[in-house]
Structure 1
Amino acid sequence: MNVVFNFNDDLTSHKPLEYSYICSIIMEQKFYKYQGTGNDFVMIDNRLQTFDKNNTKLIASLCDRRFGIGGDGLILLENHNSLDFKMVYYNADGNESTMCGNGGRCLVAFAKHLEIIKNKATFEAVDGLHNATIKDDIVSLQMQDVDTVNTYKTHVFLNTGSPHHVQFEDDIANFDIRTKGAKIRYGAPYHTEGTNVNFVKKLSDNAFRVRTYERGVEGETLSCGTGVTAVAIAMHVLNETSNTTVDLKVEGGTLQVSFNVEDGIYKNVWLIGPAKFVFEGTI
């Protein structure tokens, strides 16, 4: 699908500031939209360094679902001196953020579309190097090793490229994730820096349902790649599963996380699932 957004003077004069702001900053910007289990992203090929990366207001406007393109985040694909490409990720609030697992998987699919890669990739993200493979719509992304998992009476906390709070919730289907998630995200000990918050219900020995409140989006997303990675590792630490390949059912579908454990360190961690093109356009 190809979509062209045209904002003329008559239209922008009757719309909120976001429309006028976008039009005043960029005359024309080619973009692509990708999603991984419902976690969606605005993708921009920035190999020529034409996009204003420091303009947080512009990025937030492009991610706005009512007055822009719409997305949980915006990702720039850039050149790298020695690797296939570089990933620069922004939350929907316009601020550059920590690693996004589903975003990384979608960027691999985007790189293949641009013919930068074929079936394998090595790229740099904010948390370091990542390897990936792609076959049809399935992208497998190698995440960073995890050597520290903090367990508490009520929850588990760990960093899988982004910080994640993990806790059980029995009535997960009817849970008020926005209210409860925000309370944890801004509460002690996280405060200003904040954390992503994952609520988990065990379905079987190797399957768990997950709902995630994401910081930067400030609400629930249909899927969170670093979140399900954190959940899979947390469930293994808590002995809720003995499997090293775990299925995670999210609101937007199903993801899989596999890993090895050596001396308490989680290595060879892979996030696996679909990454699909939605549409492209010019704004």
Structure 2
Amino acid sequence: MQFIPFVKYTSCGNSFVIVDETEQSLLSEDDMSRFAFQATNISFGVGCDNLLIIQRCNELSLQSINRSRDYWIQPPQEEQAEFVFRMFEPSGEEALCCGNGLMCIASYLLDKHGISSASIMTEIPLATPKVIKIGTDQNRVGSWVNLGHPRLTPPELVNGEYAALVDPAIHEMQELVVKFRADDLKAYTTDNELRIRALLVFTGEPHLVIFPDSDFSAPEQADYIFAGSNQGVERRESFGSWLVEHIGNYMNNHMRHIFPAGINVNFARRLASGVIENRCFERGINRETLACGTGALAVAYIYSQMHKLNISEVDVLPHRCCWHDKKAKICIKQNSDGWQISSDPVMLFDAVYRFPRKKNSLPELLNKDHDEIVTEDRKLAV
């Protein structure tokens, strides 16, 4: 039995359990994947979106990662960054990057270690991880992450045969067809399929960006997706949420020939000059999330590029988070070093988790389905 200290943070409704391994090793690589279930599960654990691990970027940590997971032909150079950012999905798989998670890490570094800015290595599972800058404003109005410049989605994450290059960083998907059952849309339309134009960009995670007002074959559906709670139209909200979930699930389940590792799906609408509303279905958790930092950047970047706008600052309003927090927003700024996102993370609490050790190897764990993991952890709880 281990006792794992952790801290829980939230940013725009996304919540994270952070385990600090900068001073000592608490979890083996196998245990990180298994602990992700306890961290993210509300019934058998803590409850959050993702588990975050922060480590020193040194030879020991990089060799340990590669020895267990075999991500790289040669490990990255330790002098590239001060820290390593790790994010694990509920399944135990390691994700690439997370804007809101990185902003929470920035706040944590200041709160715990007095560090106001740092270089951090992210996108760990890719052949070439990326080093970026994170930090917290000295007046404590928020944390920021410079995600660099958006770029083309790595070939291991998308089949380029289905996409046309329309920008140095953007692929265009001309017509993605999402099908529905006969009665799914009966109350709203006679159609049983939706043809969608989408733009694909990589901002640390692969993101499809869709502006339903112009990119849907049935643009009237956009009003359901962006129906707000302040309108008091419960039926419209419910259908809009179902529509986002259906499209996101359909693309992730039926379009693996295009997106072999899954895809984040963003729905966006311009509200005013420099203000965009966004909903995001995340591939790692297989559902809509309250907010997404890398998705917000993808939306702002594509909007500015497609409309040839010289935008230096955009406010992206996370639609679902705004149901609970009317002032929620992710600020996007462009400068010579790239694109910076910022928000105001909050530390919720710190605690210790009583974590049972198991002998399962990492490959055995990742080959098990979710139900098997739940069953084993229930047995342990008893």
* Of 207-216 and 59-68, the range deviating more from structure 2: 59-68
One-letter amino acid of the structure 2 residue matched with residue 57 of structure 1: R
1:31-78 deviation digits (Å, cap 9, x = unpaired): 100111111100001121221332433312221122211111111111
Give me the CA root mean square deviation: 1.9
* 258, 263, 268: which one aligns with 2:333: 258
Task: Report deviation, 1:187.
Answer: 3.2
1:61-109 deviation digits (Å, cap 9, x = unpaired): 2211222111111111111244432211112322101111111111111
1:185-204 deviation digits (Å, cap 9, x = unpaired): 33335444111111111111
Change (3 A) 1:257 1:180: same
Are 1:53 and 2:29 an aligned pair?
Answer: yes
One-letter amino acid of the structure 1 residue matched with residue 332 of structure 2: V
2-structure distance, mates of 1:79, 1:223: 28
The sequence identity of aligned pairs, in percent, is 23
Residue matched to 1:21: none
1:155-212 deviation digits (Å, cap 9, x = unpaired): 1101101100110232223322222211123333544411111111111121111011
2-structure distance, mates of 1:274, 1:93: 28
Q: Where do 1:162-241 residues align within 5 Å? A: 162-169=205-212, 170-171=222-223, 172=225, 173=227, 174=237, 175=240, 176=242, 177-188=244-255, 189-239=257-307
Change (3 A) 1:236 1:35: same
Q: Which has the higher contact order (CA 8 A, sep 6+)?
A: 1
Q: Where do 1:53-72 residues align within 5 Å? A: 53-55=29-31, 56-72=33-49
Task: Report deviation, 1:137.
Answer: 4.5
Contact 2:107 2:135 in 1 (8 A): no
Gaps of at least 5 residues in structure 1 are: 1-25, 262-266
Q: Where do 1:69-108 residues align within 5 Å? A: 69-81=46-58, 82=79, 83-108=81-106
Residue matched to 1:146: 150
Change (3 A) 1:236 1:114: same
1:212-260 deviation digits (Å, cap 9, x = unpaired): 1111111111111111010111111221854221110003220011225
One-letter amino acid of the structure 1 residue matched with residue 211 of structure 2: F
One-letter amino acid of the structure 1 residue matched with residue 134 of structure 2: A
Contact 1:149 1:157 in 2 (8 A): yes
Contact 1:137 1:275 in 2 (8 A): no
Contact 2:332 2:340 in 1 (8 A): yes
Are 1:276 and 2:346 an aligned pair?
Answer: yes
* Of 47-56 and 250-259, the range deviating more from structure 2: 47-56
Change (3 A) 1:96 1:277: same
* Of 90-99 and 77-86, the range deviating more from structure 2: 77-86
2-structure distance, mates of 1:218, 1:63: 13
Change (3 A) 1:240 1:36: farther
2-structure distance, mates of 1:240, 1:207: 16
* Alignment coverage as a number of residue pairs: 252
2-structure distance, mates of 1:150, 1:255: 24
Residue matched to 1:19: none
One-letter amino acid of the structure 1 residue matched with residue 27 of structure 2: F
Secondary structure of residue in 2 paired with 1:28: strand
Contact 1:71 1:92 in 2 (8 A): no
Contact 1:245 1:257 in 2 (8 A): yes
Residue matched to 1:111: 109
- When you count helix as a share of all residues, which structure comes out higher? 2
Contact 1:42 1:74 in 2 (8 A): yes
Contact 1:206 1:241 in 2 (8 A): no
TM-score scaled by length of structure 1: 0.83
- When you count strand as a share of all residues, which structure comes out higher? 1
Residue matched to 2:312: 244
TM-score scaled by length of structure 2: 0.62
Contact 1:85 1:123 in 2 (8 A): yes
Gaps of at least 5 residues in structure 2 are: 59-78, 124-128, 152-168, 175-196, 213-221, 228-236, 322-327, 354-382
Residue matched to 2:119: 122
Residue matched to 1:7: none
